[in-house]
Amino acid sequence: MDAASSRVVIALRETFTQTVWAPLFLVLLHFVLRASDVYNAIAALDLAMHFIGGIAISYVAARFVSRAHREALFVARHRVFEALLIVSVTVIAAVSWELLELLLEPLGDAKVENGRIDTMQDLAAGLVGACVFTLVWWSEPRT
């Protein structure tokens, strides 16, 4: 690997370690809430967690976009492209989470998925979280 490639790999690894705390915290919180049966006691909490998850994943994606600019991985700065990239990464993460829940369902005692409507609500909440984050991110001045 040449010096430029290794510099990029190091930069992306640093960005990952600086930002991964947000989604990891939510995953850990999710398992604590599920184990303590809080989701059944507070029905709206599941949607709130997916909304916050959308914000957390968008935060990670936005930091990667910012770092990619500092490392000159993008030739030009296109805000629409960046916004679409942030939202797209978040949607991919949300779909992956729902697929993981579907795959893990047979392993647990309780039903993880409550059907298509619940899945679509979860995905929509994550998308709304991504859009809210991206709108706030968009309004910040760029350097």
Instruction: Quote the pLDDT of residue 143.
Output: 58
Tokens 């409507």 belong to 117
For residues 92 and 57, the answer to whether their CB atoms sit within 8 Å is no
Distance CA 117, CA 125 (A): 12
Instruction: Quote the pLDDT of residue 135.
Output: 95
What pTM was estimated for this model as a whole?
0.82
∠ CA 130-136-138, rounded to 5°: 95
What does each of the 143 residues of the chain score in pLDDT, given as a tens digit?
Answer: 676 677 777 777 888 788 888 888 998 998 899 889 898 889 899 899 999 999 999 999 998 888 887 777 766 678 888 899 999 999 999 999 888 888 877 666 445 556 778 889 999 999 999 999 999 998 887 65
For residues 29 and 108, the answer to whether their CB atoms sit within 8 Å is no
**Is residue 34 exposed (0-12), middle (13-18) or buried (19+ Cβ within 10 Å)?**
middle
